[in-house]
Structure 1
Amino acid sequence: PSVQDCTICMERLSAPSGYKGPQPAVKPDLVGKLVKCGHVFHLHCLVAMYNNGNKDGSLQCPTCKTIYGVKTGTQPPGKMEYHIIPHALPGHSDCKTIRIIYNIPPGVQGPEHPNPGKSFTARGFPRHCYLPDSEKGRKVLKLLLVAWDRRLIFAIGTSSTTGESDTVIWNEIHHKTEFGSNLTGHGYPDINYLDNVLAELAAQGITEESLAQEKD
């Protein structure tokens, strides 16, 4: 590893960590290898990266995004409901539709949010989203329920559409919010959507293995 760079601080692994922030209680010249993916970093940098995150017991490899532990987010409190409606989505004429309803009220940011103690807004709620009531659509729904429980569907930040800060925004799992059209790209038909959202869920550490873990 001596000729490799630490991709967190970009210094050689043979040299001490170049991390300049608050210093963790780890010697700056120690290195460690992540077990599942095998990538190597300064231990100093890994501890600093963890301390700068959610401190939820999980760590995500900065090189390949492999997740160690269970990743959780900072989604504010709210409610997720779903039901079946007797209509088909464009491109899914052979099945009914799952409608998901998310509702998050405005509130005050907690210690895990960008501006603790400051109020946040929640625009556009309740938000309605749609999945085909097919085998794969039901699988996505089950994984979205896990993502909701792990607080990964929404976050508090700056809206990419309005520029408003301290507001509830979508996190990194795309949803379809149009029912009968695809005028904005957030509707159907979209033959790749279910596979794409499964990949986005997997990137957050949510897979069919997660379903088994939730049952244990």
Structure 2
Amino acid sequence: MGSGQSSDKLEVNRFLKGRGPQSLAKQVNASSFGAQPLGQMTWEVLHQHMPSFPDANTLKITYVFPEGVQTEKHPNPGRPYAESRLSSYLPDNNEGNSVLKLLEKAFNQQLLFAIAPGENGKDVITTAAVPLKTQPEGEGSRPDGYPDKEYLKMLKNVLRSKGVK
């Protein structure tokens, strides 16, 4: 490489050696990340049945977010938000376990939760545009509980629409 080489050629050489800009696929994946605060997702099997799924145990998914300060990707950068612990539920069957893997991908892509204004004027962590069943039982008319035979199908469609497959 001589000193008369243009900077354009130098950039191409760096790219060809793997040190250039991210691939288009990586750029697309990076832009699909949401504004979810940092947290942890764990799950466990409860040996109890849910309405609509009498032959399956229950998967309890727990999301824990420590208190923190909002960054530029949140609605109020520099403003604190409180610690939060939320749970959601799925049947422990083939379809439920498949959805659990999709929820894990969505969580890692920061798509499940967001920071929003709370009722008391303080910012809180809440579910984003992905509906979660936060009650293992309900009266059927409650959107956050079971029984709901169409929930897993609907949830897979919502996650697919967000690029989670």
For Structure 1 versus Structure 2, the TM-score category normalised by the shorter chain is 0.7 to 0.9
For 1:169 and 1:126, how far apart are their aligned partners in 2? 10
- After the TM superposition, which segments of 4 or more aligned residues of structure 1 sit over 3 Å from their partners? 162-165
The amino acid of 1:142's aligned partner reads: K
More strand by percentage:
2
The structural deviation recorded for 1:70 is 5.8
Runs of 5+ in structure 1 lacking a partner?
1-55, 59-67, 208-216
The amino acid of 2:125's aligned partner reads: V
Q: Deviations over 1:77-112 (max 9, x none)?
A: 111100111111111001111000011122101121
SS state at 1:102 partner? strand
Match of 1:188 among 146, 152, 156: 146
Q: Aligned runs of 1:36-75 on 2, under 5 Å?
A: 57-58=27-28, 71-75=32-36
The amino acid of 1:168's aligned partner reads: I
Instruction: Name the counterpart of 1:175.
Output: 132
Instruction: Name the counterpart of 1:149.
Output: 108
Instruction: Name the counterpart of 2:158.
Output: 200
Change (3 A) 1:171 1:163: farther
SS state at 1:143 partner? helix
Q: Tell whether the 8 Å contact from 2:34 to 2:109 is kept in structure 1 after alignment.
A: yes
Higher deviation after alignment, 94-103 or 173-182: 173-182
Runs of 5+ in structure 2 lacking a partner?
1-25
SS state at 2:27 partner? coil
The structural deviation recorded for 1:166 is 2.6
Aligned Cα root-mean-square deviation (Å): 2.0
Instruction: Name the counterpart of 2:87.
Output: 128
SS state at 1:114 partner? coil
For 2:121 and 2:152, how far apart are their aligned partners in 1? 30
SS state at 1:84 partner? strand
Instruction: State the percentage of identical aligned residues.
Output: 32
Q: Aligned runs of 1:71-86 on 2, under 5 Å?
A: 71-86=32-47
Matched, 1:117 2:78: yes
Change (3 A) 1:70 1:113: closer
The structural deviation recorded for 1:117 is 1.1
The structural deviation recorded for 1:184 is 3.0
For 1:197 and 1:103, how far apart are their aligned partners in 2? 21
**Relative contact order, higher structure (CA 8 A, sep 6+):** 2
Q: Tell whether the 8 Å contact from 1:158 to 1:169 is kept in structure 2 after alignment.
A: no
For 1:169 and 1:127, how far apart are their aligned partners in 2? 9
Q: Deviations over 1:40-87 (max 9, x none)?
A: xxxxxxxxxxxxxxxx933xxxxxxxxx87611111111110011111
Instruction: Name the counterpart of 1:102.
Output: 63
Instruction: Name the counterpart of 1:91.
Output: 52
For 1:126 and 1:158, how far apart are their aligned partners in 2? 17
TM-score by length of 2: 0.76
SS state at 1:57 partner? helix
The amino acid of 1:156's aligned partner reads: I
Instruction: Name the counterpart of 2:10.
Output: none
